[in-house]
Chain A
Amino acid sequence: MTAFLVVLVIILFGVTVWQLNKIFNMSKTADELGDSSEVANLKDNNINGWLMLGLAIFTYGLLIICFWKWGDVLLPQAASEHGAETDNLMLISMALIFVVGFFTLWLLSWFSFKYRGNETNRALFFADNDKLEFIWTIIPVIVLAGLIIYGLFTWTDIMNVDEENEDIMVVELYAYQFDWRARYSGADNTLGEANVRLIEGVNQLGVDVSDPNSQDDIVVNELHLPVGQKVVFKMRSQDVLHSAYMPHFRAQMNCVPGMITQFAFTPTITTEDMRLDSEVVAKVKKINNIRKENSIELVQKGDEALEPYEFDYMLLCNKICGTNHYNMQMKIIVESQEDFDAWLAEQPNLGTTLKK
């Protein structure tokens, strides 16, 4: 009832305002109606012209502040072979963007300021100029052609994997709500066939046990990679779309139920070495300071303090996949070939696990 009354009051108020306005308008003389003071006058042109000059300076300033305050949050150097190449392409593209952005934004602001309206000014009737338009059509064409060619070569290099003639290690990445598994192909470097219809008990990945290739497969929940060894990841998903995102390796590929997708790269920096990288050291220090500060507050509230952070490579899910999408992760460890072999030897293979 109260709600109804409130709505009624609002409606009646609206009607009153409307009717009052009608009366108000009728009582106006034609002169008043012709009053056009809501159109910009010289003062408005002046103030907004100056502010427009400020707009370019504001955008430059904002960019500088962002770099100065948060330049250190960006990803450290690429930890994969192709990553160095994409980072280079990124740098070139970014430089281009900054140059073009700087000049066009400046022209936009400068013209808005310089040609702000006044009474004596007369605008120039300048409707077209084929030469000018040709110039600024052809320049983007040439620049973009360069970028496209560079980009396409890089892309093809990354995506074309010659599994037969290259020395490649095959690893399966298996995604499900909301965790990851990795399956190493074992001594035969061939993954056993698998299908979700075969999922049963400990055979969580639905591996076909009758396939002889599957016997030496090894399933783990922490991804270890030998440094300098090219790895091709065969990706599967059990339920919905996921995306295997490994930002430090500049690698990402969706995991699609019903098909196998792949992405290959060669890790070049071990976890140990990456932890010594100056950028990473600085970043980890900053993070730990933040965590320490947050812990003080937590302890006061009676909660546990946050653990200090140590750098590790990581695999994240980067395609919306459900409630816990934000916490679907796996640790990646890049190590020397010997360490890797030793670790892998300790892991039980499927043949053993399933027999138990």
Chain B
Amino acid sequence: MSAHANDHAVDLHDDHGHHHKQTFITKYIFSTDHKMISKQYLITGLFMGIIGIAMSILFRMQLAWPEEPFTIFEVLLGKWAEGGVMDPNVYLALVTIHGTIMVFFVLTAGLSGTFSNLLIPLQIGARDMASGFLNMVSYWLFFISCTIMLASLFVEAGPAAAGWTIYPPLSALPQAIPGSGTGMTLWLVSMAIFIASSLMGSLNYIVTVLNLRTKGMSMTRLPLTIWAFFVTAIIGVVSFPVLLSAALMLIMDRSFGTSFFLSDIYIAGEVLHNQGGSPVLFEHLFWFLGHPEVYIVILPAMGMVSEIMATNARKPIFGYRAMVMSILAIAFLSTIVWGHHMFISGMNPFLGSVFTFTTLLIAIPSAVKSFNWITTLWKGNLQMNTAMLFSIGFVSTFITGGLTGIILGDSALDINVHDTYFVVAHFHLVMGISALYGLFAGVYHWFPKMFEGKLLNKNLGYVHFWVTIVGAYGVFFPMHFIGMAGLPRRYYTNTAFPYFDDLADVNVVITVFAIITAAAQLVFLYNFISSMFFGKVGPKNPWKSTTLEWTTDHKHIHGNWVGPIPEVHRWSYDYSKLNKDETDYVIPGQDYIPQHIPLQDNEEELHH
């Protein structure tokens, strides 16, 4: 794997004296520059995140104080909260759109879109993505899909309300729930465009990583971030088309009278003509994407955490090769575990056994990664920058959330906790909160690369981190308990069951923590916007990191490096490496050796 893909180093961009005159439109809107596109992804993703989190606060308020009137409901939900009391249908719509926005628009596009775009060219030493134009199209398709999703909130009968998994027949029949009318059509159109956007992005990332690495940058010298983005893109290309096919079939069932997913249905007083389809087929197709999707969300976060942790621990990442192998293992296994979402869907129980087996296997690479992160901290010299805190927080929530996966992945145990709040707590910790921590870690760490050297305010960052981690645990720890008490998710209110009356105060506690945590995100938002304009400009390499992106200038130029692209001579984790006599660091007084520094006389060459 050490083939130097890039001996085409004599690149045509070296004569970068002449700069095309950029207009406002080509620079900020229809930009083909990967750095600008990454900022566009980030800001769009954060905007969608604000909406998604705000929705969660609304339905958490309903769960804590069921059917109580709130003025804010009336203001924001209008006719769906007359007198300030939330309507059950809009509750389901909020849950649905919250899930959709957070999973796809924030954690897929906002996370992977932002950082793949920013870091792939900068860290592998490329002038830009393989196709800048395709990259631009990818962002604008994403933008259109966001717009359509948001537009669906304003249609007459309300947005999609069949859960983010949109299982038919509920999602196929407007008679079954009002949200399955125009709202669902827009949802499907939006997702179809989103998938096109994601595919264009992913293909671009794959081609760029394979072909545009600078001289000396072999695959085994890539930072783990790039490995993670690369493998994420591959999973995306493998699994997203399957969701597209499911969405197309659902569109046909809804609009053209086909019966892919529908059979033997009597609803609203009449029998439908549909015969022979199966909702279980949809579940298979959906989760064939849906499960890899959670790894599409978590792998980039893992990559960034590895990189940030090594930098701030001033130590090489422990077990580089094991980290790469576990990324590959997770990626492979992620495509053959989808059935663990369907143990009790009515599929053959034998399949349940198979999926239990593959699912519990995935715990092995995950465990290896966690142990390697912990060992990276051991005997380090930890610099507690905000990005580092979020990385440690990531490992913490990945462990607490991941461990309960052992229960859910076990078909026999899943029977009783399936679709309860136990599941909600599990996946929010392991993929929601963890991936968000990865996103925050990335923003704090690479903010100077995005905004021309400006740094985020660290004290606001500390406040943001500590309130968030305490608040998030406050939300999701108690949630395991109400799940184990048998409380189903997606209930508008639990008052219909007196048996659940003793869970009411737990729900209040959860909601209060949720509101506190959401408020802490305002601190981040303020920090982000004010630092974008008034942030202190730091040195070129503020975190004393080894990777190539820190060799570029503060000022963004098309092509990234003013002179020739630096050549790479070592892996990206030479932190605190000592010279042969072990008297000092290889470069005296400097505990890191950037990748473009050639091998020194006083150091041993190591093969990692």
Contact = CB atoms under 8 A, between A and B. Distances in A.
A and B co-occur in one complex: yes
Contacts of B271: 196-197, 199
Given A125-B577, A140-B367, A147-B406, A243 B419 contact: yes
A31 B469 CA distance: 36
Given A97-B407, A148-B360, A197 B264 contact: yes
Contacts of B406: 93, 96-97, 144, 147
B493 interface: yes
Contacts of B478: 66, 70
Interface in B335-361: 344-346, 349, 352-353, 356-357, 360-361
A137 B383 contact: no
Interface string B392-424: 100110011001101100111101101110000
B262 interface: yes
Contacts of A9: none
B419 A319 contact: yes
Given A58-B473, A258-B278, A123 B492 contact: no
Interface in A12-70: 17-18, 21, 24-25, 28, 33-40, 44-45, 47-49, 51-52, 55, 58-59, 62-63, 66, 70
B578 interface: yes
A307 B589 CA distance: 76
Q: Which of A25, A33, A117, A320 has the most CB of B within 10 A?
A: A320
Interface in B523-550: 533-539, 542-543
Given A325-B491, A327-B496, A44 B384 contact: yes
A36 B591 CA distance: 18
B25 interface: no
B575 interface: yes
Contacts of A263: 344
B322 A133 contact: yes
Interface residues of A, number: 127
B474 A155 contact: no
A245 B417 CA distance: 10
Contacts of A245: 419, 486, 488
Contacts of B173: 239-240
Interface string B476-493: 011011101110101111
A238 B377 contact: no
A300 interface: no
A245 to B, nearest CB: 7
B536 A287 contact: no
Contacts, number: 396
A247 B163 contact: no
B462 A44 contact: yes
B202 interface: no
A250 B416 CA distance: 5
A61 to B, nearest CB: 10
Contacts of B573: 127
Nearest to A97: B403
Contact of B280 (A156, A256, A306): A256
A343 interface: no
Nearest to A100: B403
A38 B320 contact: no
Contacts of A144: 360-361, 363-364, 406
B97 interface: no
Nearest to A140: B367
B538 A324 contact: no
A319 B167 contact: yes
A122 B381 contact: yes
Q: Which of B420, B455, B537, B575 has the most CB of A within 10 A?
A: B537
Nearest to A196: B266
Contacts of B576: 122-125
B88 interface: yes
A103 B182 CA distance: 51
A351 interface: no
Given A115-B380, A117-B382, A101 B403 contact: yes
A291 interface: yes
A93 B371 CA distance: 20
Contacts of A49: 382, 384
A106 to B, nearest CB: 10
A181 B134 CA distance: 55
B154 interface: no
A323 interface: yes
Interface string A140-152: 1100100110011
Given A86-B413, A155-B349, A318 B506 contact: no
Contact of A318 (B318, B420, B473): B420
A159 interface: yes
B490 A325 contact: yes
A151 B463 CA distance: 43
A275 interface: no
B395 A108 contact: yes
Contact of A73 (B407, B457, B502): B502
A55 B472 CA distance: 12
A123 B591 contact: yes
Contacts of A240: 168-170, 173, 176, 267
A107 interface: yes
A184 to B, nearest CB: 22
Given A238-B265, A239-B169, A257-B264, A112 B400 contact: no
B94 interface: no
A44 B263 CA distance: 63
B374 A86 contact: no
A215 interface: no
Contact of A151 (B262, B345, B381, B411): B411
Interface string B245-258: 00000000000000
A258 B345 CA distance: 13
Contact of B265 (A18, A243, A257, A317): A257
A154 B412 contact: yes
Q: Which of B320, B377, B410, B412 has the most CB of A within 10 A?
A: B412
B265 A101 contact: no
B320 A62 contact: no
A39 B170 contact: no
Nearest to B407: A93
Interface in B263-279: 263-267, 271, 276-279
B314 interface: yes
B598 to A, nearest CB: 19
Nearest to B358: A148
Given A89-B410, A125-B577, A38 B88 contact: no
A259 B320 contact: no
Nearest to A25: B537
B360 A147 contact: yes
B499 A314 contact: yes
B379 A126 contact: yes
B368 interface: yes
A122 to B, nearest CB: 6
A5 B363 CA distance: 56
Q: Please name the 5 residue pairs, one residue from A and one from B, whose CB atoms are nearest each other, closest first.
A: A258-B263, A247-B486, A159-B349, A261-B346, A48-B384
Interface of A: 17-18, 21, 24-25, 28, 33-40, 44-45, 47-49, 51-52, 55, 58-59, 62-63, 66, 70-75, 85-86, 89-90, 93-94, 96-97, 100-101, 104-105, 107-108, 111-112, 115-118, 121-129, 132-133, 136-137, 140-141, 144, 147-148, 151-152, 154-156, 158-160, 176-177, 195-197, 199, 206, 238-241, 243, 245, 247-248, 250-254, 256-259, 261, 263, 283, 286-287, 290-291, 306, 309, 311, 314, 316-327, 329
20 contacts: A18-B533, A39-B538, A70-B481, A73-B482, A73-B506, A97-B407, A111-B378, A111-B380, A112-B392, A118-B381, A129-B319, A133-B322, A136-B368, A197-B271, A206-B266, A243-B344, A247-B416, A251-B416, A257-B262, A318-B488
Given A55-B392, A133-B319, A253-B346, 20 more contacts: A34-B538, A36-B455, A49-B382, A62-B474, A74-B485, A75-B416, A93-B413, A104-B370, A108-B395, A123-B576, A124-B378, A132-B375, A197-B266, A240-B267, A243-B418, A254-B345, A291-B498, A306-B498, A323-B88, A326-B496
